[in-house]
Amino acid sequence: MANRIKFVYDEKPYVLEFTRNSVKEMEKKGFDAAQVVEKPMSLLPELFAGAFIAHHPFVRRKLIDEIYNAFDDKGEPLNALCEMYRLVLEDFVAELEKKSGNGLKWERE
């Protein structure tokens, strides 16, 4: 699975990607991936917009929406974005679960 989506719009190249920082920024703005199935009409465009944060943080939302609407087939790129977002979360969880034995230890009293 690719971790990036590349395309050219209005002669400008774009790279869509999720990083831990971009996912964190999306969460700060209220994005909740668990609700994508319940509210796809609202949240899939938000997911698309969030993918701009990593490489194109200053692109205005009006342009992002214009680009989103220009895609003939939204299904394939949105499926890829969902998968890319999921991979970032899985990587984060896997890192939390690592037990290297060299880190700081704590205990409850």
DSSP for 34-98 reads GGTTT-HHHHHHHHHHHTTTTT-TT--HHHHHHHHHH-S--HHHHHHHHHHHHHHHHHHHHHHH-
**Do the Cβ atoms of 48 and 64 come closer than 8 Å?**
yes
Whether residue 91 is contained in a domain is answered as: yes
Q: How many domains does the chain have?
A: 1
- Is 24 within the bounds of a domain? yes
Task: List the domain range (segments joined by +) for residue 72.
Answer: 4-95
Domain assignment present for residue 86? The answer is yes
Is 41 inside a domain boundary?
yes
Residue 1 in this model has a pLDDT that exceeds 80: no
- State the DSSP H helix or E strand holding residue 12, giving kind and residue range, or none if neither: strand 12-17
- Looking at the domain assignment, is residue 103 inside a domain? no
Tokens of 90: 């899985």
Instruction: Give pLDDT tens digits for 49-91.
Output: 999 999 999 999 999 999 999 998 888 888 899 999 999 999 9
| Nearest C-alpha neighbor of 50 from the set 75, 85, 83 | 85
Confidence at 99, pLDDT banded by 50, 70, 90: low
* Confidence label for 42 from pLDDT (cuts 50, 70 and 90): confident
CA distance 32 to 55: 21
